Structure 1
Amino acid sequence: MKRLVLVGGGHAHLSVLDKLAQKPLPGCEVILITPNRYQNYSGMLPGWIAGHYTREQSRVDLQPLVAASGVTMITESVTAMSADARSLTLSDGQQVTYDLLSLDIGSETQTEGLSALGTRLLPVKPLDDFFDQWPEIQKKAAHQKEYALVVIGGGAAGVELAFAAQYALQRVGAQGHVTLVVSSDGMLKGHHPSVRRRVMAYARQVGIVLYQQAATGVVDGLLFADGHRIYADQVIAATGAKPLPWLRQSGLTLNEQGYILVDGCHRTLSHPEVFAVGDTCARTDVQMARSGVHAVKAGPVLADNLYAVLADSSAHLKTYQPRKSSLYLLACGPQYAIASWGRVSFEGRWVWRLKDWIDRGFIKRYSQINESSVNKN
């Protein structure tokens, strides 16, 4: 019996589990290794911060899905890997071997230069930690005068977090303010200037202060490149991704930053029995932004490719072709959003309703298990 191991319950692996529920693999043992039975959906994080969703509405419970798929779930983290030995070491010390492996393990937040902040620093990833800690921040802000919250990061995540936090503090009556710090490269790099203009106009409208220069963490806040300092009760870092550290000793071929190098089929360059998708990998044929959009879209392709390898049909592997332009819907705190799609941008409450419909649909798809699939297993 062959063994397929899925590490991580991320967006792409939800597609694999969904396919397994519809079309079981005879003669194959499938194991899912993930630190938590719940998969938090990053797309709904800003809406959850703003109070539009409960935590339960913002995540997928993997337990019913793995039950319908006939998959064994191990709720532990991977701490080491030997690609040559086809072996994984888990946080509880056990060893898990595999015939075929798929990695959808995400990334961590790059916090270099911010360590001096100590407990004032909250990286947006891991998402589990952020979901646990944000309610305490909001509670503290509601009971403290002039609470100073700073968000660092000029990408879509940083912008959405700043808007959501500003709205959340206002909603609980906090006497505080939100500052958004972006690098000297500017905000929303890669998006059309019209999107940046809309975001900056909305930030001014809701009272978010914007700094555009490099900053490092100090004990009580941030020090900017020009010598200016600001105080911060809390700093949320959405400062880009970095790969999980144990990949360095895995034996897989990585790029200079430590991401797993994969081809267009998301098969690793060094070990054909290992696939990787999402934030943890880097394509050698195209440049892709580290966005959940690509992990979602690559999921069905990954599922088909894993099936093909297990059926000894590697010649029929599919390539994931990212679109030239992806639709980004930036939540603005209240039920209002700004859309970015190539050279086109628009905004309004109807954009929020579109985002809400897409996000709720994603959760619903993987939360409603077909009873016939359960009966098959």
Structure 2
Amino acid sequence: MSGLLLAGGGHSHALLLRRWSMRPQKRPQGLITLVSRSSTVLYSGMVPGLIAGLYQRNQVEVDLRNLADQAGVALVIAEITGLDIAARHLQLLGRLDLPYDWLSLNLGAVTRTSPAAVDGLVPIKPLEPALAYLQQQDLAMTSPAVASAPFWVVGSGLAAMETVLALRQRWPQRPLKLQAISDRLPAAFQRALRQAEIELVEHQTPTQTQPEAGLLCTGSQAPTWLTKSGLACCTNTGRLRTRATLQVLGQTQVLAAGDCAVLDAHPRAPSGVWAVRAAVPLARNLEAAVKGEPLKPWTPQRQALQLLGGFQNGQPTAWGLRGSHLFGPHPLLWRWKRSIDAHFMAMFESSEAMDDTAEMTCRGCAAKLPGAPLERALKQAGIGSLGSEPEDAAVLPMRAAGVMAPVLQSVDGFPALISDPWLNGRLSALHACSDLWACGALVTAAQTVITLPETAAHTQEMLLAQTLAGIRSALEPQGAQLIGGHTLEARDGAAPPPLSRAVQVILNVSGQPRNAPWPKAGLQAGDRLLLSRPLGTGVLFAAAMRSAAKPAALDAALDQMTTSQHPLVEALQTLDSQQPGSVHAATDITGFGLLGHLGEMLRNRSLRVVLDGLAIPALPQALDLLESGQASTMAPANRRAWAQLDDGSVNLNLSGIRSGSPRHQALLELLVDPQTCGPLLISVPENSAAVLLNEDGTAWGEIGWVTTR
């Protein structure tokens, strides 16, 4: 089976994941994959409070990556672009389609727009772009012209009312206008607008001034690609029409819930209330469907109480709405709403029942054998020079004479770092390529060995296809080809969920430099040391296994790791052709950390390196995690490289960091943190460093220099 595919990270799916994390026995067998456009989902009930400044972003976010890990579900971060019903494929932007046996859609909604919509106004949904737009407005309001210009909210529904009152709390002085059909606004809402000094503009009355900034809160509709999918949709809203079992009409193997769907026999207006209520019926029916058991119908209650947040005289308040009956506002209703919202978010905090991964060992490049036993084993095997004088790639021995340019070759691989097989294939390929990049060569060809878990043939096929497509996405932009490989099936029994984490990838890469390969041990006195990207991937992914890493920090790390560094190598090759010998030495920072790989460059004992502690870049949250005691499981073995700080090989300039302080200790740990898809480190003369550091948008940063002892 290809498995169960959860499309969208809405409230129903978030609660579904929580159910399976707390009750693993309920989770269907086989591969389950969640596809979401981001690693977090915003709890809609608290978004007005976020806009008003009552909450911080992290207080209203559900961490889907952590939730999926706890539930044994693979997570794919991608934009959904369409659906091929006949082939049972979910189509993704810039990626291979994902096949499915069962599909669950919980996609949320987007703002409904019309040809008459005012140009320049931003839809309130999706929420993330709208929130980013408000932050841009915050910055722009340093200009008196912007601060005095009216900000508009267009819409006559509850969302428009909550949004404009939240904006008044956010911007006490800026002119605000609500363009609405006044007949649709209860008298209590109109009084609240007058008290907040928000001008109500009749929707059908021509305005003399064209709105230049504002939000559209003009109702919601399902994502537009759904109407093109061939699924049964409502004509006016595009919402999927479902049976009481939540199966889409005419599609027994596609279920839907939340704002993107509506029960055909029991229609309800789109609301987070119904998305939450639908979670348990959706979960039960998905669990039954995968087992081949009958599905049960669900009839939602006719009405639900909605609590609407607002403000009165600058203080939080709330209204209650049940059916057409509106009551309030009253501070007690706000306290009730705040308690409900806090309880909802507390459900997604890690608990002892969920957190069974604290003792797991690290994956990715942190899974490599530590340096000491590796060197001893190489020596016993009679190839000790591979450990004592390592290079990132080896020159292939040639039997034929007359070969002009050397062919370099290297091999690398690791257990799956993440649960997305396409992205893990890409990461594995980029990590392997960096060995050749560190020698000044671009990759021309690669072969791979992929080990798949024991599971159904269709699932193996999907995992292999996704992994190979991810590998190709890393190779082809640099002109490299995947020319072959080998597949294996693991013989360790059933792998723990998600099955995609059991995929292991090894790549053999080869290529040719333009000139002589850059050596690892070519440091010269007077050289400047340049690093291409921040450190910290090891501790971030170690902390992620303990639910201690922030979603935004992991997003930043993955964004860096999935960015190819081959353009940097091309630029260095150009510089090297203009200024021959510009790169004296180079390496890539991987499993042994910055200090360990720097030690491999420092074979000339007459030289020493001075590192500027404040100049060594770290990924967001990495130093804070190290300071709190978090570390990769490979870090203890890597700490032997600290001996270089004691023997004078490396001097660490603390640049004002107090010696012995927690931040000093965190910096020492950063120096030995194992990296996956880590930075390139080059040693170049001062004039070459000046050229590289003065380039627009340069990735390079100077972290130290080379001098004599």
- TM-score, normalised to structure 1, is 0.87
Alignment of 1:229-244 (within 5 A): 229-244=208-223
Q: Is the 8 A contact 1:148 1:231 kept in 2?
A: no
Deviates more, 1:101-110 or 1:252-261: 252-261
Deviation of 1:313 after TM superposition, in Å, equals 1.3
* Deviation string, structure 1 residues 84-103 (Cα, Å, up to 9, x no partner): 22111111221101111100
Q: Which amino acid in 2 is paired with 1:46?
A: P
Alignment of 1:181-220 (within 5 A): 181-183=179-181, 186-187=184-185, 196-214=186-204
In 2, Cα distance between equivalents of 1:373 and 1:287:
38
> Are 1:246 and 2:225 an aligned pair?
yes
Structure 1 counterpart of 2:3: 3
> Are 1:350 and 2:332 an aligned pair?
yes
Matched residue SS, 1:253: coil
> Are 1:368 and 2:350 an aligned pair?
yes
In 1, Cα distance between equivalents of 2:2 and 2:55:
41
Q: Is the 8 A contact 1:65 1:369 kept in 2?
A: no
Structure 2 counterpart of 1:268: 248
> Are 1:134 and 2:134 an aligned pair?
yes
Q: Which amino acid in 1 is paired with 2:219?
A: G
Matched residue SS, 1:92: coil
Structure 2 counterpart of 1:219: none
Deviation of 1:74 after TM superposition, in Å, equals 0.2
% identity of equivalent residues = 28
Deviation of 1:233 after TM superposition, in Å, equals 3.5
In 2, Cα distance between equivalents of 1:50 and 1:372:
33
* Deviation string, structure 1 residues 309-328 (Cα, Å, up to 9, x no partner): 112112x4141413324323
Q: Is the 8 A contact 2:8 2:107 kept in 1?
A: yes
In 2, Cα distance between equivalents of 1:26 and 1:230:
57
Structure 2 counterpart of 1:339: 320
Which of these residues, 263, 282, 287, is aligned with residue 262 of structure 2?
282
Q: Is the 8 A contact 2:303 2:322 kept in 1?
A: no
> Are 1:313 and 2:289 an aligned pair?
no
Matched residue SS, 2:119: helix
Matched residue SS, 2:184: coil
Matched residue SS, 1:20: helix
- For structure 1, the 5+ residue unaligned runs are 188-195, 215-223
Deviates more, 1:2-11 or 1:247-256: 247-256
Deviates more, 1:333-342 or 1:203-212: 333-342
Deviation of 1:186 after TM superposition, in Å, equals 1.9
In 2, Cα distance between equivalents of 1:23 and 1:254:
34
* Deviation string, structure 1 residues 181-225 (Cα, Å, up to 9, x no partner): 1136522xxxxxxxx2221111111111112333xxxxxxxxx3x
In 1, Cα distance between equivalents of 2:213 and 2:347:
36
Q: Which amino acid in 2 is paired with 1:162?
A: V
Matched residue SS, 1:335: strand
Structure 2 counterpart of 1:79: 81
Q: Is the 8 A contact 1:141 1:147 kept in 2?
A: no
In 2, Cα distance between equivalents of 1:26 and 1:105:
21
> Are 1:359 and 2:341 an aligned pair?
yes
Deviation of 1:367 after TM superposition, in Å, equals 2.8
Q: Is the 8 A contact 1:3 1:98 kept in 2?
A: yes
Higher strand share: 1
In 2, Cα distance between equivalents of 1:155 and 1:59:
24
Deviation of 1:372 after TM superposition, in Å, equals 4.7
> Are 1:155 and 2:157 an aligned pair?
yes
Alignment of 1:105-184 (within 5 A): 105-114=107-116, 117-118=119-120, 121-144=121-144, 145-170=147-172, 174=173, 176-183=174-181
Which of these residues, 54, 63, 67, is aligned with residue 69 of structure 2?
67
Matched residue SS, 2:150: strand
Q: Is the 8 A contact 1:9 1:32 kept in 2?
A: yes
In 2, Cα distance between equivalents of 1:93 and 1:42:
29
Structure 2 counterpart of 1:192: none
Alpha-carbon spacing, 1:233–1:304, altered in 2? closer, same or farther (3 Å): same
Q: Is the 8 A contact 1:337 1:351 kept in 2?
A: yes
Deviation of 1:280 after TM superposition, in Å, equals 1.1
Q: Is the 8 A contact 1:5 1:98 kept in 2?
A: yes
Q: Is the 8 A contact 1:8 1:104 kept in 2?
A: yes
Q: Is the 8 A contact 1:294 1:322 kept in 2?
A: no
Q: Is the 8 A contact 2:273 2:304 kept in 1?
A: no
- TM-score, normalised to structure 2, is 0.47
Deviation of 1:329 after TM superposition, in Å, equals 2.4
How many residues matched?
351
In 2, Cα distance between equivalents of 1:310 and 1:335:
46
In 1, Cα distance between equivalents of 2:192 and 2:141:
23
Structure 1 counterpart of 2:13: 13
* Deviation string, structure 1 residues 286-318 (Cα, Å, up to 9, x no partner): 22111111101111111111111112112x414
In 2, Cα distance between equivalents of 1:142 and 1:197:
35
Give the structure with higher Rg (CA). 2
Deviation of 1:244 after TM superposition, in Å, equals 1.4
Structure 2 counterpart of 1:27: 29
Q: Is the 8 A contact 1:181 1:210 kept in 2?
A: yes
